Amino acid sequence: MIYLQRNNRSRSRKTIISVGIIVGIVAVIGLVQWLFGSNLSIGTIEAGTSVSKPFFVFGKQISFATSFISSRKTLIEQNQALRDEIDGLKIKLLSFDSLAKEHEEILKTYNRSNIENKVLASVMVKPPQTPYDTLILDVGSENQASINNRVYGIGGIVLGIIDEIGKKTSRAVLFSNPDRETRVIVERTDQNITLIGKGGGNFEAEVPQEVDVLKSDTLVLAGIRLPIVAIVVDVESNPASAFKKVIARVPLNIFNLRFVEVETSPGL
């Protein structure tokens, strides 16, 4: 049998060169990232949003057009469900208004203000398109937003902070970003726990068995306003262990976010 002779030496030389090029490119990118990473990042966000903006607007128009095609029956059902929800919320709001007024009065007595400035931002890019629980927003330094300002969802739920900022765009990193640690307070018991982001709006925390945390407990950030961060959805307790695992979740769907509020002045 005749075997074709292969030029192994030439092939292995080519492989070594290719591997060398790959390693070289990674090293160059690493150096560029180290030197100019932050500046390049915001530049990319600004350029990227101008690329994605036409698609974003087009997507909005498509969803508007398809809403006309929705079946009449579904619309009637949705309408009724929303009416019921509004009625329930109206009742809740009545008690909330009086409590908010009372809270404001108490703060005034102690010379602390409850008023904070916020600007409405449209969410350009959100999870699951973004891999690390980040949002690209259409507000920037021109709208008085700045780095580390908080980002709120509907109902004053604090979602994260501004991480990178450009003139007209910014990137917000959510507290649920994987491995991100956030100190919160269990609203019912005033105990401190540290939440660790798990991505997709989920959190985990490992606390001693003695810590009083129950399902449906509200977890808030420390401060005058106590904004809600997450709701406890499960507590896994093992009698053999000294710790228990708390699983919490952002009380709104971060995959359906269309608008958020961005703080324009640092909180008190």
Query: Which residues sit at the interface with another protein, rule CB under 8 A?
Result: 11, 15, 18-19, 21-23, 25-26, 29-30, 32-33, 37-38, 40-41, 43-45, 48-49, 51-52, 55, 125, 128-132, 134, 136, 163, 173, 177-180
| Interatomic CA distance for residues 173 and 45, integer angstroms | 13
- b/e sequence 62-81, b meaning 16+ C-beta within 10 Å: eeeeeeeeeeeeeeeeeeee
Q: Measured from the CB of residue 193, what is the shortest distance to another protein in angstroms?
A: 20
Q: Measured from the CB of residue 88, what is the shortest distance to another protein in angstroms?
A: 35
By C-beta, is 43 or 156 nearer to another protein? 43
**Element housing 264 (H / E):** none
By C-beta, is 129 or 189 nearer to another protein? 129
Q: Measured from the CB of residue 3, what is the shortest distance to another protein in angstroms?
A: 15
By C-beta, is 21 or 222 nearer to another protein? 21
By C-beta, is 17 or 222 nearer to another protein? 17
Q: Measured from the CB of residue 197, what is the shortest distance to another protein in angstroms?
A: 9
Nearest to 123 by CA among 80, 84, 152: 152
| Interatomic CA distance for residues 161 and 253, integer angstroms | 17
Length of the chain: 268
By C-beta, is 29 or 82 nearer to another protein? 29
Q: Measured from the CB of residue 133, what is the shortest distance to another protein in angstroms?
A: 8
Angle at 215 between CA 210 and CA 217, to 5 degrees: 85
Q: Measured from the CB of residue 123, what is the shortest distance to another protein in angstroms?
A: 14
By C-beta, is 90 or 258 nearer to another protein? 258
| Interatomic CA distance for residues 261 and 118, integer angstroms | 6
The secondary structure of 47-103 as a DSSP string is HHHHHHHHHHHHHHHHHHHHHHHS-HHHHHHHHHHHHHHHHHHHHHHHHHHHHHHHH
By C-beta, is 26 or 99 nearer to another protein? 26
For the CA atoms of 76, 81, 87, 89, the dihedral, rounded to the nearest 10 degrees, stands at -140
Q: Measured from the CB of residue 69, what is the shortest distance to another protein in angstroms?
A: 23
